[in-house]
Amino acid sequence: MIRRRLAAAGALVAAVALVLSGCANQEGGQQQGGGPQAGAPAQPTDAVLPAGNGQGRCAPGTSIGYAGTIAGQNAALGIAIVNAAQLAVDQHNQANPNCQVTLVRADTGGTPDTATGPVTALINNPQVLGIVGLPFSGESRAVGPALNAAGIVNITPSATNPGLTQNGWTNFFRGLGNDAVQGPAIARYIQQRLNAQKVCVIKDDSDYGIGLAGTVTQALGPAASCQVDVKTNQREFSAVIGQVQQQAPQAIFYSGYYQEAAPLIQQLRDAGVQTTFIGPDGVKDEQYVVNAAGSADGTLLSCPCVPQEGFTDFTNAYRQAFGVPPQTYSAESYDATTILLRGLDQGIADRAGLLNHVRNYNGQGLTKRFQWGPTGELTNTPVWMYRVQGNTIVTDTQI
């Protein structure tokens, strides 16, 4: 543990130096980052980074909170998010001697029942001005009313259930496209680019998987000819594969996460099913490629995130700090934290001010352009299609 921290600290210095040299003025560039050419991803050269201009000023003790799982069964996702937030805060503090921000971690355990206590503690901590989290839609729903009542700004880096922005919460902002954006885009791609008229939609039992499968199925209409369900943590799919084989679809869309997608694609390919396999952002993870071994080759992966080729600084810094490459939603968390830090640098010292800052924010991040509509959805959420080629995920096209 201690050794890792030391390594992280050392790496951080290097990372910050890199970042500082690499960015001149982030705040200014307002050029429209959209409209990239297919296959040539827009490099967010104008991305706002946590370090800022180094002139940040804020009261000592100013904090932002991370609420989400840190230990427990689904901790991997939470750790990827909290690490990225920590990285952003550390880079910021290194560059801004007059604004030292603390990241307060609240371990929600990832479930609604255990989330209320830690989140209430964050709410009752007057120094916490904004919150990054919560990673899961279920816990977000559970504590959303309380966060809203407290008027504390809340940017989620990963909860994609469309219903979350339908509650009238004015403090809730989604740092990525929701499933209602991604679903129709995927359906369009499947029908128009792949020309598939018979699609199997396989979904897991998570809020995310069910929600996304719903939007895709709806958009596909009659083409979604078969529906198959799997369970979280399922590893053996022979019966599922039987169902797919019987239907002989022209494309398979898997709505869920990589932990199940990797064994599923491997067993599908082993069983001789060579149908095009499409997965969403929950599958788009290096772990998917590694865990599916060769079987993932040719898989199409959609994601409401811009290609990461331009993130080498971030990727390197993260890898140096934590010993592993950034994972799903790390970059989103980094961006969300950065947005909050920008506000604090301007001397905002109360929750209402920070909420207002986020509401009116307009700037390029690593992952996309951040500007929110009245409900807390991003105004511009590009959906990109990626492809697994050999052992790497490459950019295919914007869809």
Partner 1 sequence: MPDAPGERVISVLDLAALDPAALAPLVVHAEPWINFDVGLLVDRFWANTINGLAYGSVYALIALGYTLVYGVLQLINFAHSEIFVIGVFGVYLTFVALGFEPGAIPNLPLAAIILDLVLAGLVAMAVAGLAAIGLERVAYRPLRRRNAPRLAFLITAIGASFVIQQVIRIWRGSNPEGTIRLLPPSPVFSIFGAPVTNLQIVIILASIAMFVVTDRFVNGSRLGRGIRAVAQDPATATLMGVNRERVITITFLVGGVLAGVAALFYLMTIPQGAVYNGGFLLGIKAFTAAVLGGIGNLRGALLGGLILGVAENYGQSLFGGDWRDVVAFVLLVLVLMFRPTGILGESLARSRA
Partner 2 sequence: MRQRMADLSTFWNARSRPQQWVMLIPVVAFLFALPVLNPPIITTEPATDFPIALFSAAVLALIAIGLNVVIGQAGLLDLGYVGFFAIGAYSAALLSSPDSVLGIRLSWIAIVPIAMVATMISGVILGTPTLRLRGDYLAIVTLGFGEIVRLLADNVEPLRGNRGFQDIARPGGTYPDGSPIFAQTDALGFYWLAVTIIIIVLMFMGNLERSRVGRAWIAVREDEDAAELTGVPTYKFKIWAFAIGAAVGGLSGTLFAAQVGYVNNQRFDVTTSILYLAAVVLGGSGNKVGVIVGAFLVSYIPDRFQFEPQYRFLVFGLALIILMAFRPQGLLGMRQHLLTYGRQAYARLFGAGTAVAPSGMTPSTRPAGDMPEVTPDDHAGTSPRGGGE
Contact footprint for partner 1 (CB under 8 A) = 73, 75-76, 79, 145-146, 148-149, 151, 162-163, 166-171, 180, 205, 210-211, 214-215, 217-218, 227-231, 233-236, 238-240, 242-243, 246, 259, 262-263, 266, 270-271, 287, 289-294, 324, 391
The total of other beta-carbon atoms located within 10 Å of residue 389's CB is 14
Q: If binding is defined by CB under 8 A, does position 315 make contact with partner 2?
A: no
Length in residues, the chain: 399
Q: Are strands 128-133 and 102-107 parallel, antiparallel or unpaired?
A: unpaired
CA angle, residues 40, 43, 46, in degrees to nearest 5:
150
Select from 104, 194, 226, 271 the one that contacts partner 2 (CB under 8 A): 104
Q: Which listed option, partner 2, partner 1, none, makes contact with residue 395 (CB within 5 to 8 Å by class)?
A: none
In angstroms, give the least distance from the CB of 32 to partner 1: 30
For residues 215 to 234, the per-residue mask of contacts with partner 2, x marking binding by CB under 8 A and - elsewhere, is --------------x-x---
Q: Which listed option, partner 1, partner 2, none, makes contact with residue 373 (CB within 5 to 8 Å by class)?
A: none
Select from 42, 77, 150, 212 the one that contacts partner 2 (CB under 8 A): 150
Q: If binding is defined by CB under 8 A, does position 138 make contact with partner 2?
A: yes
In angstroms, give the least distance from the CB of 106 to partner 2: 7
Choose between 164 and 268: whose C-beta lies nearer to partner 2.
Answer: 164
Q: If binding is defined by CB under 8 A, does position 71 make contact with partner 2?
A: yes
- Residues between 272 and 291 that touch partner 2 (CB under 8 A): none
Q: If binding is defined by CB under 8 A, does position 143 make contact with partner 2?
A: yes
In angstroms, give the least distance from the CB of 375 to partner 2: 16
> Are 259 and 290 contacting, i.e. CB atoms less than 8 angstroms apart?
no
**Cα–Cα dist 16/145, whole Å:** 37
Choose between 152 and 385: whose C-beta lies nearer to partner 2.
Answer: 152
CA angle, residues 384, 387, 388, in degrees to nearest 5:
145
Q: If binding is defined by CB under 8 A, does position 62 make contact with partner 2?
A: no
